[in-house]
Amino acid sequence: MKASPRQQRLLLDLQQLDHTIAQLRRKRATLPERAELAGLAGELAAARDRFMAVQRELDSQNAEIARVEADIDLVGQRRARDEQLLAVSTSSKEAQALQGELDALARRTHELEDRELELMEVQERAQAEFGEAQGLLDGVDERRAALQGRIDAAEQRLDREIAANAEERAGLSAEIQRDLVELYEELRGRIGIGAARLRGNVSEASNMALAPAELSDIRAAAPDEIVFCPGTGAILVRGADEE
């Protein structure tokens, strides 16, 4: 294949753009915030588990207190009814029975109120633990949101850079003859690099000095002849280091 020296030198610009785009994509995929966010996942899960556990405990205490308060209310209603009946009772036997029930209800009320005080102490501790768990979860979630925000901002910035380089690449590629671009793309897809500079006697594709016989053959080729790096197979562009 033949291509003018200028066409060959354009391949170096194309290769540089491809290298830049690849670097930007690697940078996007390996943002340090991604590792931080992944590391935060375990901490967030633990904080969420603790929050849910203390929330269940607090809900259980609240429900138990509500049941006790409902029982106190029912006993109070029963006492009020018995007191009304006792006030109008004309039977000593009935009055004695009502008084006995009132005494039992008074004891039951005392037991329920003692139980309510115990539960309220437990509830207070559960409420404090709930507040701590809520604060911990909120703190971890805020850090997660901040990291995600930094990732989003970095991705947007890098996406703009990638798009700008891709647009420049498309314009440059249109200036190069089609068969040369196709060869370049085939080599880049197969060996990772499509074209490189011959600097002195060193191929920048392999970063190695060419053997004297190899260098002699390459220098003997016509300027518009496509030559290749003996070590990698990439297109070797001559004369670019002399500009």
Residues 163 and 191 in one domain: no
- CATH number of the domain enclosing 49: 1.10.287.1490
210-239: per-residue pLDDT in tens?
999 999 999 999 999 999 999 999 999 998
Residue 241: which pLDDT band, with cuts at 50, 70 and 90?
low
Question: What total number of domains does the chain contain?
Answer: 2
pTM over 0.75: no
- At 243, is the pLDDT very low, low, confident or very high (cuts 50, 70, 90)? very low
Choose the final residue of a domain: 123, 153, 175: 175
Please check whether residues 118 and 16 belong to one and the same domain.
Answer: no
Q: Vertex 36, ends 158 and 20: CA angle to 5°?
A: 25
pLDDT digits (tens, 9 = 90+) for 48-97: 999 999 999 999 999 999 999 999 999 999 989 988 888 877 788 888 88
Residue 211 lies inside a defined structural domain of this protein? yes
Instruction: Name residue, tokens 């499509």.
Output: 194
Shared domain for 157 and 67, answered yes or no, is: yes
The token duo for 200 is 């002195």
pLDDT tens for residues 20-53? 999 999 999 999 999 999 999 899 999 999 999 9
Do both 170 and 208 map to the same domain? no
Nearest Cα to 166, choosing from 19, 17, 25?
Answer: 17
Q: Which residue range is the domain that position 207 belongs to?
A: 5-20+177-242
Q: Which of 156, 175, 194 is the last residue of a domain?
A: 175
Residue 25 in any domain: the answer is no
